[in-house]
Amino acid sequence: MKKLFLILLLGLSFLSVSAQIVRPDKNNGLFKSDSTKFKDEVKIKLSGETSYKDYKIFNINNDTTVVDTTLTLNKDFKFNYLRKDNFELLPFHNQGQTYNKLGYNFQNNSIFPQIGMNAKQFNYYKAEDIKYYYVPTPTTELMYRTGLEQGQVLDALITMNTSRQLNFSLAYKGLRSLGKYRNTLASHGNFRATFNYHSIHKNYYLKGHFSSHDLLNNENGGLTEESIDYFENNDPNYIDRGRLEVNFTEGENLFEGKRYFIDQSLIIVSNQEKPKKKKRKKKGEKSEIEGLKIDSLATIDSTLVAKPSIEKDSIIASKEILKTEALVKKDTLTNIIIAQTDSLTKTETIQDSIKIVKKIKKPLFNVKIGHSLLYETTHYRFKQETSTDYFGDSYTNAIIDHTSYQKMNNELYLELNTSAVGKLKAKANYFNYNYHYNSILYFNDYTISDKLKGNSVAVGAEWKTHYGKFHLNADATSIISGDLNGNSIKAAVMFKKDSVYNFKGFAEITSKTPQLNTLLYQSDYKNYNWQNNFKNEEIKNVGAEFKINKYGSVFASYNLIDNYTYFDENSKPTQASETLNYLKVKVNQYFTFRKFTIDNTVMYQKVSKGDSFFRVPELVTRNTLYYSNYLFKKKPLYLQTGVTFKYFTAFKSNAYNPLISEFVLQNETEIGNYPILDFFVNAQVQRTRIFLKVENLNASFTGRNYYSAPNYPYRDLTVRFGLVWNFFI
């Protein structure tokens, strides 16, 4: 099924014929990319007004960006399996495996509980990760990247508008990578389908998506102590990493999920007039000035208002209006209705101008009612044909663990939008959940139930407004009844000075239920069965971000967490008795001299209280020196090449437990304090970005002490190749 879908996407992609699309260059100017040439190609002429700004991408909150086909250093940082900048993540050796964390983010918490199994969640698309599209022509994007030992990843997307009102998209990301070490196969599939619609008069909006994930990983528990010695001493008999012994070879875990989401809204009260339809001119009919739209009255003010009312002036005014008609039609502007020039007089024109001014200055006011529904099912499985002593004693010889979680979030909201107040939204949520297993476990002194099931009702309000260049957002939500309790208050302020700099400050106070696998878990391994009655986690954080364009940015956050829930040295869930105090400061700065640029990102972290259970490296840095320039005549190729240096200080990193797919506390092994050098050559040809990278270039001469987690080595010197290719009709 996966192969058939990929073939279908590729076929649809190559049906897309390229056209000239205006897009920004590295100096924020504009230039046109030549069409990709095909034999017997169909030539389609687009309006001169169509530009890269018309190819829009937005998320569930309607935060909007555009399709960007340029090549920048950030594109290099995001050219990985997650397609995100993984500065705060430490990848395992194989593409598609999990990531260890070098930094933590405690912002934007949900008051409703999550399933857990966090080590499997990095490649899981949440509702806020799904993208929606609005494109004037069919658009396709293909991303390809080589894997390790018989593998690769392909991410294919096609989206199109069937009309100005309706868009749909289909996307699939598939991975298969065998890996260098024994039993580290990664086989993932992510399918996404979206649609969005708005009525002709833009008083009704509808969007939704369906997503499906199956994330399979073979697990080996890491290297044995003997194999670690062979690895660190660079024993020539074990250059082939598949010869190293691992803790077990028959384990696999699988995370599956399906989600259905729909959001719709209807404007029920509005003082804004609906746009009038443009009348079609019949063949042979005399020209009329109708259905024209202009951005200001400057044009008609200069031609229609001034001199005494005499016939000569009226004729001159009529000629100027005809010129205005040609100019406005050329710019494809519509909406202001002007009477026929044959009967035009100065008095009528001035009166119409006054009416237009009143119409434009009419304050915004509308009332919107909306509804959103999210239904999601997730399953986590761990299987072993034969149990192993690595996890302790077991009830059965064959291990088959299965955790299921279904949740539904039904939200109804009413939104008031005015020029004076901004957007004020009142909302009510009905949340239903069912986290369950297939049996009840009875012990001598206690019983572990088979499920956590219930529902809750929450109410809240959101406010968004702006005063000049200040933008304010606030959100408050509280559970008022049901089987859960929790509340959240979030606030943010942003100031933007044109394209020079911007500042954002935020604060959040959240009380939420810990993730469900810390409250209840069942396994065929005896030590992995528990049921807890934990308190809510109390999270408080405050932070700020300051960006100066062409120079860099500074981000800082301070976090206070009570009842922090984690997995201890025995892989058992535990709540901390002391408050966690966690400070994070991240600075990015870049400087360009001629064709050379140095880009530096440094993160400093400090745990003043709670370092016995919460460990992070004190310093993480990434420094890139690269050269960029256009090559050859007429600049057909843009090149970036350089070296990236990555380093983090030594710390007692959490250990990876593949049975529960969580990182757990350990007090024996430190990782870090080793440099990683990556050499890259990236190029852009038209709308194709090509990436070539040599990872861990220094592996052979700086020692074999590089690890992603205790017992799990980071990748050796590896050459990766890939590309990102956009097609437009």
Higher-pLDDT residue of 550, 472: 472
Interatomic CA distance for residues 46 and 34, integer angstroms? 14
510 occurs within a structural domain: yes
Residues 531 and 633 in one domain: yes
What is the structure's pLDDT at 563? 97
Average pLDDT, the chain: 85
Residues 312 and 243 in one domain: no
Residues 306 and 202 in one domain: no
Range list of β-strands (E), 27-146: 30-32, 56-58, 64-66, 89-91, 99-101, 132-134, 139-146
Residues 452 and 586 in one domain: yes
The number of domains in the chain is 2
Give the percent of the chain with pLDDT over 70.
81
Nearest to 584 by CA among 98, 91, 85, 102: 102
Residues 476 and 546 in one domain: yes
The string of pLDDT tens digits covering residues 609-648 is: 999 999 999 999 999 999 999 999 889 999 999 999 999 9
Residues 356 and 377 in one domain: no
What is the structure's pLDDT at 6? 46
3-class DSSP assignment, residue 103 = coil
Beta strands at 718-728 and 152-161: parallel, antiparallel or unpaired: unpaired
585 occurs within a structural domain: yes
42 occurs within a structural domain: no
CB 403 within 8 A of CB 521: yes
Q: In sequence order, what are the residues at sequence separation of 6 or more whose Cβ sits closer than 8 angstroms to the Cβ of residue 268?
A: 367, 368, 369
Q: Say how far residue 615 (Cα) sits from the centre of its chain.
A: 26
106 occurs within a structural domain: yes
Give the percent of the chain with pLDDT over 90.
73
Residues 588 and 614 in one domain: yes
Nearest to 638 by CA among 22, 144, 31, 152: 31
What is the structure's pLDDT at 151? 84
The string of pLDDT tens digits covering residues 516-553 is: 999 999 999 999 999 999 999 999 999 999 998 878 99
Least confident of 388-392, 465-469, 517-521, 638-642: 465-469
The residue-averaged pLDDT of 384-392 equals: 94
460 occurs within a structural domain: yes
Residues 227 and 351 in one domain: no
CA dist list (Å): 549 to 27, 28, 311, 502, 590 = 12, 12, 56, 9, 10
Q: What is the DSSP string of 659-689?
A: TTTEEE--SS--B----EEEEEEEEEETTEE
Tell whether the model's pLDDT for residue 125 goes beyond 90. yes
Q: In sequence order, what are the residues at sequence separation of 6 or more whose Cβ sits closer than 8 angstroms to the Cβ of residue 491?
A: 472, 473, 474, 475, 506, 507, 508
The string of pLDDT tens digits covering residues 473-493 is: 999 999 999 999 999 999 999
Domain boundary among 343, 360, 377: 360
Residues 315 and 236 in one domain: no
The residue-averaged pLDDT of 276-293 equals: 46
Residues 578 and 702 in one domain: yes
Least confident of 11-15, 404-408, 667-671, 682-686: 11-15
The CATH number of residue 658's host domain is 2.40.170.20
The residues with which 145 forms a beta bridge, in sequence order, are: 153, 722
Residues 425 and 531 in one domain: yes
Interatomic CA distance for residues 515 and 513, integer angstroms? 6
Q: What is the DSSP string of 250-267?
A: SEEEEEEEEEEEEEEEEE
23 occurs within a structural domain: no
Domain boundary among 312, 338, 360: 360
Range list of β-strands (E), 576-671: 580-593, 596-609, 619-631, 637-648, 655-657, 662-664
| 9 phi and psi angles, rounded to 5 deg | -65, -45
Interatomic CA distance for residues 404 and 257, integer angstroms? 10
Domain boundary among 360, 387, 403: 360
Residues 469 and 533 in one domain: yes
Task: Write out the residue range of the structural domain in which residue 339 sits.
Answer: 273-278+287-360
256 occurs within a structural domain: yes
Q: What is the pTM of this model?
A: 0.82
392 occurs within a structural domain: yes
